[in-house]
Chain A
Amino acid sequence: MSWDWQVFCEDTLTREAGSSCFGQGGDITYLDWLLSAWGWTVSVSLLALLLALFVGALVGTLRTLPDSPWVVRLGNAWVELFRNIPLLVQIFLWYHVLPTLFPTLQAVPGFVLVVLALGLFTSARIAEQVRSGIQALPRGQRMAGMALGLTTAQTYRHVLLPMALRIVIPPLTSETMNIFKNSSVAFAVSVAELTMFAMQAQEETARGVEVYLAVTGLYMLSAFAINRVMAFIERRARVPGFIASAGTGGH
């Protein structure tokens, strides 16, 4: 078997290699397609990450509220619901089922539905980490806040969350890398991201190994890049003399 990297310079319609590996005058080569697919993967992942961080931090915090058993139960139900259904099934629910049940959703593009599915799926996992981060703090901190006359909201805002959110950075790092990997499931509802590209380009060109290698390389590059960004955030946010606990993985 021999390599044929020229395949990326071929036009996607005529299968002819032009003078440049980038298409000209509206033509699209496989390289163009690959890069645009990478763009979709990064967009889906980053938007889902934003949603997941926001919802996850909120739900995780609500689950630790004192004296509000119903809020805690609701938060726990949220986590159980999104954690116990496979991501692929959740994407089908968002893409096929919800727009049928609620016709207003039919106007929403598939890309947005996938971001919602991936974001809320991940929010449950982040909520779990934020909850355990807050509960890992010594109880005296909450009590000290109360003793100073802070309200519950103030205790969270000024005492608990600043420390808890730092504790959860290492597990969040692995979660941000997971979100890039999990975005690959969007292929199932025809979002033109990397895995979708891999499957279609493999079919069309029969150069599966080259196509898969390029796609796998871009996934690894993305995961590595987001890992470095998170490590940078962790360094900048570190409180001197305080050692954050190590996180655990998952996929």
Chain B
Amino acid sequence: MGLQLDWSFYNWDLMQNFVLKGLGFSLMLTLVATLGGVLFGTLLALMRLSGRPWLATPAMVYVNGMRSIPLVMVILWFFLLVPLLIGRPIGAELSAVLTFVAFEAAYFSEIMRAGIQSIPRGQVQAGMALGMSYGQNMRLVVLPQALRNMLPVLLTQTIILFQDTSLVYAIGAYDMLKGFEVAGKNFGRPIEAYLAAAVLYFAICYALSAGVKRLHRKIAIVR
């Protein structure tokens, strides 16, 4: 060991002032991006499965395009383009929210597409035979089951998303990692700060993925 670690300055005040502020943003970003991503992702999936080329092709180009670019580049693109398009600067935090909704929609759409395709065709046909419209069929028959079948995968993607929120570092938004980093700089203890960040990220993600595994087993038995 080349250095003595010093944890003495890690008290509740510091956690509240730096880390919790950042953690709040990370969690908010994760939540908004998950809800927005599932919503727009479902729309994209429905477009791709619609069988109409003028709907399916743009959705396919969008999804494949987003999935072949690094997230960091997407973050940089939005931070550059949105102010150019609307003519005034928006903060790094708002830019991050827009980016993550747009980016995650592409990933969630692939999950939802698999979920919708996992529903036997007979169910859709049964709905049609009962006189349901396309919208009713989707809303009442297909999507509730698709969501349930895909719940573990959706939640796993949400955990990955939570980890990816650390990438807003590229535009300097104040997330949990930034909170640790600022605390480390202020107290001249960056090493402890990075270590503490790693431990906290690990604890959160490990607990969440253990929960997802459990849920997966539960759902698998019921089905």
Contacts and interface: CB of A to CB of B under 8 A. Distances in A.
A178 B216 CA distance: 25
**A interface majority secondary structure:** helix
Contacts of B70: 180-185, 195, 219
B76 A195 contact: yes
Interface in A178-236: 180-185, 187-188, 195, 198-199, 202, 208-209, 212, 215-216, 219-220, 223-224
Task: Classify chain B's interface size.
Answer: 35 or more
A97 B67 contact: no
Interface of A: 1, 80-81, 83-90, 92-93, 96-97, 100-103, 177, 180-185, 187-188, 195, 198-199, 202, 208-209, 212, 215-216, 219-220, 223-224, 249-251
Interface in B185-202: 190-191, 194-195, 197-198, 201-202
A85 B69 contact: no
Contacts of A87: 163
20 contacts: A85-B205, A86-B201, A88-B167, A89-B197, A90-B198, A92-B194, A181-B68, A185-B167, A187-B72, A195-B73, A208-B80, A209-B81, A212-B80, A216-B77, A219-B69, A219-B70, A220-B68, A223-B68, A249-B110, A251-B71
B195 A93 contact: yes
Given A92-B194, A212-B77, A251-B71, A85 B201 contact: yes
Given A1-B84, A195-B170, 14 more contacts: A85-B205, A88-B169, A88-B177, A93-B194, A96-B190, A100-B191, A101-B1, A181-B70, A182-B70, A195-B76, A209-B81, A212-B80, A220-B68, A249-B67
Contact of B69 (A1, A181, A187, A249): A181
Given A96-B191, A223-B68, A89 B166 contact: yes
A249 B156 CA distance: 12
Contacts of A215: 73
Contact of B71 (A84, A181, A187): A181
Nearest to A103: B2
Contacts, number: 115
Interface in B127-181: 157, 160, 163-164, 166-167, 169-170, 177
A84 B81 CA distance: 32
B9 interface: no
B3 A101 contact: yes
A187 B170 contact: yes
Contacts of A93: 194-195, 198
